[in-house]
Amino acid sequence: MGHGHGHTAAPASASGRYLRALLISLVIGAGFMVLEFVVGFATGSLALVSDAAHMFTDVLGVGMALVAIMLARRSGPTPSRTFGMYRAEVLAALANAVLLFGVAGYVVVEAIGRITDPPEVPGLPVLLAATAGLVANVVSFFLLRSGAQESINVRGAYLEVLADLIGSVGVLVSGAITLTTGWRYADPIIGVAIGLFVLPRTWTLARRALRILFQHAPVGVDVSQISSELSALPGVADVHDLHVWTLTSGMEVASAHLTVAGEAEQSAVLTRAQDLLAKRYSIEHATLQVEAPQSARRCTELSW
């Protein structure tokens, strides 16, 4: 019986490459969050307080992302934590989604309550504070945009920033309408619009994080196709107990049992299977058990 695992290089979390970008985004967001809260409460602008609250979740979310990356880096695999702390990054993304749900829900409820009796909001201070917040969000947006395509952890922070960016644009529109027309309904209506914009994107992030935590196959990976291609390799008679999952963004993992046919050389079968998974599916860490037909019978006796 042969066992093997394939990885041409030590796997690395995709999030770790964006540590500096996250740190800069955190500092920028924290500074402008304080500014928007101060002006928002001073003027009574729900739209501005809404944007500041989103920026707070942005700052908190980026902070969690940074902590998760540092945990994953410093706490490698141990005898009791065989996969280290990489899942902390996925938990941070899920926590980001929960935060966004809470803030967006609060803003929508509060804004609906204000529509019946909208307060008078001075337009100029709101306009100036929103402009400053927009600049901060644009900088953070470009810092995190590329990382959002590779890491669910960075994507959580990126969606926070994107929501803030849209929120800042909304507050600018609200402030401009209030300043030029005096229409008091602009502020609560923009507040509702910001909340409704954030909610579906938050659900998408939460679903992706839960998919990883439940160890489902990565999006776009057809496990049945992998099984068929492994079964078609020379010397392979059967493939069973095939599992493919994501440890954290950029770290896909697989395991499988391969039953060899006849006099097939087990080491050659193992090498071909590892090459297939690495080259066609970018699964560098695959734990494969190559077994004779008589040994494979034990797998059929398992209840799960």
Quick: pLDDT tens for 47-87: 677 667 767 767 877 787 777 777 766 666 677 777 777 78
Closest CA to 121 of 196, 83, 174, 191: 174
pLDDT at res. 169 = 81
- The first and second tokens of residue 97, run together, are 């989604």
**CA–CA dist 176, 61 (Å, integer):** 30
Contact 251, 230 (CB under 8 A): no
For residues 280 and 229, the answer to whether their CB atoms sit within 8 Å is yes
- pLDDT tens for residues 136-182? 878 888 888 877 777 776 777 787 777 777 777 877 787 788 778 87
- Which positions of the chain have pLDDT values less than 70? 1-16, 46-47, 50-51, 54, 57, 72-77, 119-123, 153, 296-297, 300-304
Start-to-end CA distance of the chain, whole Å, equals: 22
Is residue 186 a contact partner of residue 173, using CB atoms and an 8 Å limit? yes
Looking at the DSSP bridge assignments, the partners of residue 6 are 286
DSSP 221: -
The pLDDT value recorded for residue 3 is 53
Beta bridge partners of 135: none
CA dihedral 260, 265, 271, 277 (to 10 degrees): -20
- Alpha helix (H) residue ranges in the chain: 19-43, 46-74, 87-115, 123-148, 152-181, 186-213, 223-231, 266-281, 293-300
Rounded Cα distance between 55 and 126, Å, is 15
For residue 250, give the nearest of 48, 2, 13 by alpha carbon. 13
pLDDT at site 8: 41
Tokens of residue 175, six digits:
């402030």
Instruction: Check: CB of residue 154 under 8 Å from CB of residue 250.
Output: no
Q: What is the DSSP letter of 120?
A: P
pLDDT for 69: 75
Residue 29 CB coordination number (10 Å): 28
Cα radius of gyration rounded to whole Å, the chain? 25
Domains of the chain, earliest start first: 14-213 (1.20.1510.10), 217-300 (3.30.70.1350)
The reported pLDDT for the residue numbered 9 is: 41
Give residue for tokens 């980026």.
62
Cα dihedral 98, 102, 107, 109 in deg (nearest 10): 130
Please tell me the predicted confidence (pLDDT) of residue 190.
78
- Three-state SS letters, 175-198: HHHHHHHCCCCHHHHHHHHHHHHH
